[in-house]
Structure 1
Amino acid sequence: MNDVLTVGELTSHISLLLREDDLLADVTVTGEISNAVLAKSGHFYFSLKDADASISCVMWRSNVRTLFEIPREGESVIAHGRVDLYRPRGQLQLVVDAMRPAGGLGDLYKRFEEIKARLLAEGLFDAERKRPLPLFPRRIGVVTSATGAALRDILRVLAQRWPLADVLLAPSLVQGAQAPAALQATLRALYRRDDIDVIILARGGGSIEDLWAFNDEGVARLVAEAPVPVVSGVGHETDFTIVDFVADVRAPTPSAAAAAVSPDSDAIRQELMSLSARLTAAMLTRIERARMMVERDHSRLERLSPQYRLDQRRLMVDELDRRLALAMENMLDQRRVALDGLYQRLLALNPNAVVARGYAIVRDEAGHIVQSVQQVTPDQPLDVQVSDGHFPVVVLG
């Protein structure tokens, strides 16, 4: 018995088999469009059917943009792509990468491709010739119908995003047999002015016939000759015209064209506030550094000035005078202490001081102090000194 597969494993295996099949990986199918839905994401979902069967199809947005126009319900087409499995539903689908009408190329489509190929060969679509849009346009030229919804959308977006710009409306026919000549005349009139910074060339959506004026070769060549950048905003996101390839910038809608040429004033205001705060902080920092440098230089100049040196010498003299006076005072104190010690010693050696303590000094007739009995004889007169005077004595024996 074979291994039991999960549903996911089974669908993965089927998907792998489909991708490895050379026929199914590169298949061209013809059928009739049904259940067509152009999603907001830009992807195109539909079915291809004939009398015998039907298959679900999807065309991703990147490939939808290459279509000349979106096929309508019931239209027969020839689609190229690969067969794959939509695993969440276990459903086969055709992933379409190219599609064209089944009845062959129509006259308008042929003319479109011829003009496109010719201008492409001349280099009018080259990225190198595309010019950058001005960052802050002062005057914006708008070429469109004066009564169409495209103009209202453009003016609304410009008023919201960049009300500082002047808008110069150059009204023109944008549909019909006379529209190409009208567009060329309007563009030439704008080109003669020297106060236009950028031009918007726009109209609302419509069929290929409605938009054909913007596929006119004369209009496309004149757009390529514009002295200022041109932004095309013709039709809807899935509509492409020759003018879109020639213009400096292609916008999917008129509103998007207005947004492309106008900076966001709110964002600029926030940026200016941020830059102002940063500039203020930087200036305050520079001012503080300059103040510190000035103070440092001022301090250096003060130290180098004659007055500063004189003041320093005066301070030094005052300090030496103070130290000298202190040294003299210390020396005098030391001398006083020494003299006081000598004085006390002299007092201790003074005979009068001894007498004052109750002793007596005996002298002979010559005034010599008698220090021993050997120095006297009987009947010798002596003089006795006491604390309060003298009196005579005689040695008795």
Structure 2
Amino acid sequence: MSDRPTFDPTRIRVPPEERSAPIDASGPITPSRLNELIRAALDRSIPSTLHVVGEIGNLTRAGSGHLYFTLKDASAEIRCVMWRSAAARVKFEPATGLEVIATGALEVYAPRGAVQLLVRKLEPRGVGALELAFRQLRERLEAEGLFDPARKRPLPAYPRRIAVVTSPTGAAIRDILQTLSRRSPFVEVFVFPVRVQGDGAAAEIAAAIRALSRRAADLGGVDLVIVGRGGGSLEDLWAFNEEVVARAIADCALPVISAVGHEVDVSISDLVADVRAATPTAAAELAAPHVDELGIAIRNAASRTARGMRQRLDLARHSLRLRTERDVLLRPQRRFRQHAQWLDETVLRLRGLLIDELRSARRRLSTSEAAIARFGGGASFARAARRVDERVQRIQGSLASSLNAFRTRLDG
């Protein structure tokens, strides 16, 4: 802040020839002249800077950005106006019913003949403006669910490329780069330089985050983003409490670590980010594993893989052993030899049956021939011959059926 005194128009030295003529109100005057008289009286008798305490009422924010409201107490009120340039510097959100201290000067609004307070500065009473602004934004974003743990994304275990949004000359970037170089020298780091305090800093930070979210693929693939700065006063850290930064972090397609100030400092960006780090150094430690830890992880993974392969081989050996121990696989010819033996036995059995049937047929035929010879009947002989043929056909059919049944069993 500058030590220059507040501008006071009453202290300007006006040459005598430019001074107003004595006021003459003896005759009738116009409303315009009356407003001039009121303005002159105010300039002479009222200080150019007033600090008015009251409760905001009838608050209106015009499309132009100007604020119009009243300040009131238990028995009176006064109209107030705050031009856009002054309203833009108000950190908190003015609201009806909020008790504030308005700093400004009285003026006459001629078109209405009304006296109003032209407000240059507005502060909440009983609490700092920044503190109130922080509280208001926090409540609003929390109601929207931007702080919900369910929307937080996990950090990649082994990032290859990390982007850092911070000042290129501050202690924060030095701490981050040194920590990453020591812990994970294989990680590639992109620095997006921005202002981290002062007018326009919040817009720069938000623009860098949004650009990273859009262009991560163009950079070869960015795995996560660190946003932050070193310590400072509440005013110094305020850019990270601006709504534009909070929404850029919430909309970012990449996981975001917020590291603003020291451990005791909590910013809106800390609450919105996927992970909050107490310091920039802690952010670097959270972002990438130590090379020793990576070596241990690789060895553990190799050990788990080898152990899993051994287990699978042991199971395969056991399964193969069970299969080879089965009789049909251990001695595969044994089953075929048994079938061959059964076939030989069947053929011999059928052959014996056939011989018995033929012998029986011969005996019957001999008997028949003797009968024919005794009785001399040709017709009777023919009938006997047919019966013998039928009996032979039946024997052949029985033999064929037995052979077919055997083949079926063998194929099965």
From the CA coordinates, give the structure whose radius of gyration is larger. 1
TM-score (norm 1): 0.48
Name the one with the larger strand percent: 1
Name the one with the larger helix percent: 2
TM-score (norm 2): 0.46
